[in-house]
Amino acid sequence: MLILLSLLFTNYAVAGEPYVDKALLNEIGDKYGVFAKKRFFFLQETFDSVKNKGDLEKLEAVNNFFNEVRYSSDMKLYGKSDYWATPWEFLGNDKGDCEDYVISKYFALRHLEVDYKKLFFTYVRSTNFKEPHMVLTYFETPKSEPLILDNNNRKIFPASQRKDLTPIYNFNGDMLDEADKNNEKSHKKWDELKLNMQRKKI
């Protein structure tokens, strides 16, 4: 197992700038175990496989990868009704709720140099679930029909083909940072997430 991890890390390090540096990867392994560490190697392999592809290929690869993570409520994982986990917490635990899928997909796509102005956190109402839901939406242009990346539906569809979802509102934290704080609740959660990202919270 140690030999395998050593070989994986070699490939991970030479493929380009890593998503998770060696020090943080070791911390993740110490906290969550060897299988959690391997998940980050496989994530890097996913990145490397599409880094020179177009946006649609990147969207599909990232969506497929993170949708393999199991769903769990914030209350069960963190003892809180609403907690936005960092990608390292989400993949380390191998569990999370809808916001956690969206956050991890968003930062993964940003790492792959997809323009963040095309990506939005989108609150929706779902006919299949009785609780609030969040998906990641991708707009090729500001006037384009968005594509929906959803942990409850593994395939990416245009919004018009997701009759089960009714949009409530979109926001993009990085764009909020450039403008007025027009949604206090979302901005507060975003600010907390940014701080946890800066601290590399695992």
Tell me the two tokens of residue 201.
Answer: 């919270």
Please name the fold of domain 55-198: C8orf32 fold (3.10.620)
In percent, the amount of the chain with pLDDT more than 70 equals 87
Measured CA to CA, the distance from residue 86 to residue 100 in angstroms comes to 7
Q: What is the pLDDT of residues 71-111, one digit of tens each?
A: 999 999 999 999 999 999 999 999 999 999 999 999 999 99
| Domain extents in the chain | 55-198
56-72 pLDDT, tens digit each: 999 999 999 999 999 99
Indicate if the alpha-carbon torsion angle 14, 15, 18, 23 is positive or negative: negative
Return the pLDDT at 2. Answer: 37
Residue 85: which of 104, 58, 70 has the closest Cα?
104
Give yes or no for residue 127 having a pLDDT over 70: yes
- Predicted TM-score (pTM) of this structure: 0.88
Percent of the chain with pLDDT over 90: 78
Token readout for 168 is 């409530």
pLDDT band at 139 (very low <50, low <70, confident <90, very high): very high
DSSP-assigned states of every residue in the chain: -HHHHHHHHHHHHHTSS-SS-HHHHHHHHHHH-HHHHHHHHHHHHHHHHHTTS-HHHHHHHHHHHHTTSEE--HHHHHSSSS----HHHHHHHTEE-HHHHHHHHHHHHHHTT--GGGEEEEEEEETT-SS-EEEEEE-SSTTSPPEEEETTEEEEEEGGG-TTEEEEEEE-HHHHTTS----HHHHHHHHHHHHHHHTT--
- Name the band, by pLDDT with cuts 50, 70 and 90, for residue 145: very high
